[in-house]
Amino acid sequence: MSEVIEKAEKIAEKMKEDFENSIRSEIEVYPCHTNRASSIGELCLRKLVYMRLNYKETAPVSSSLQKRFGEGILQEPAIEDRLRKMGYELIQKSQLIRIDEANITGTLDDCVALSSEAGRPTEVFPIEIKALTTFICKKITKAEDLNQFGFAKKYLDQGTIYMHGLNAPFMIFVIKDKDSGDINFHHFVYDKERAAGLIEKGKAIDKFVAKKEYPDRLINHPDECDRCWFNHICLPDKQFQGGEIMIDDELIQKIDRHQELKDSYKEYNNLNKELNLILAGKTGIAGGYELTGSWVEKGSYVVKAQKYWNKKIKRF
């Protein structure tokens, strides 16, 4: 009997190992030549530029995240099947949506076509299918509630792009609670201003990409930066190394002015040194200036030991 237990145990362990390897083998990074509708709602513009210029350096997702992605992908056909069983006709599956002016592309899940009893189509609208945990689902009573969660806010931006591309006045989010199996349906109405903001964002990304330049880093968003796939090349910690956040308008104005004067001060110092050399020992007139001077003897002295703060001010 102990032999059987040992053999069964080994088989179970091997199966677990094969499962983990199989998940890891699915972790891939895809080239990104356009602005993806699913990502356009990302908070950090710099990250979106990295996605275009540095996609090969994307940090691989963890195997636990890959498992969650996999689950989401599996849910989609199951939910579509349920919708068909409910009598809904699904059309335009995986339709490519393209907003040329902002170089944004995305793949819509489906459109639902409602028909009258006579079989005539009465309404066609896009749907997006999402599978979420009970914890999140409980907090969502309307589509706009997705705005509460960074990752889910992007769904609304993605949906906005799809509605814009399809000229659709509304869409339906089909949200399945992965744990309970319950499904909820939330309508989301096209918001022209939200769409315009996303289109401007797409254009801005393309401008940076064309110049191979990067927008500034996010300031003081440690959570966002910690889970960013480009943290290892962006190195946000090198930019802001912690310390006090000083909310002092007067101080900020002084630093602004200090920075404005910096270049002219440098230029003045360089010119001053140059003129010191040219005019040493000379008196006379140049243009509208009378030039005079005198030799100054400098005595030697010992500088007392002292401690001072060597400040550095860097604009981010």
Residues interacting with ligand SF4, by CB under 6 A?
44, 46-47, 50, 217-218, 224-225, 228, 230-231, 234, 236
If we measure between CA atoms, which residue out of 66, 65, 40, 60 comes closest to residue 232? 60
In the complex, what is the shortest distance from the CB of residue 49 to ligand SF4, in angstroms, rounded to a whole number?
Answer: 8
Question: Is 112 or 228 the residue whose CB approaches ligand SF4 more closely?
Answer: 228
Please state, in angstroms and rounded to a whole number, the distance separating the CA atoms of residues 96 and 112.
16
- Distances 83 to 77, 89, 97, 148, 184 between C-alpha atoms, Å: 10, 8, 22, 27, 12
CB of 224 to ligand SF4, least distance (A): 5
Q: Are 199 and 102 in contact (CB under 8 A)?
A: yes
Which residue, 190 or 214, has its beta carbon nearer to ligand SF4? 214
Cβ closest to ligand SF4, residue 156 vs residue 234:
234
- For ligand SF4, give the closer residue by CB, 49 or 83: 49
* Minimum distance of ligand SF4 from residue 23's CB (angstroms): 25
Choice between 46 and 201, CB closer to ligand SF4? 46
**Cβ-based neighbours of 294, under 8 Å, separated by 6 or more:** none
The nearest distance, CB 30 to ligand SF4, in angstroms, is 18
Q: How far apart are CA 219 and CA 205, in angstroms?
A: 19
Nearest-approach distance from CB 43 to ligand SF4, in angstroms:
7
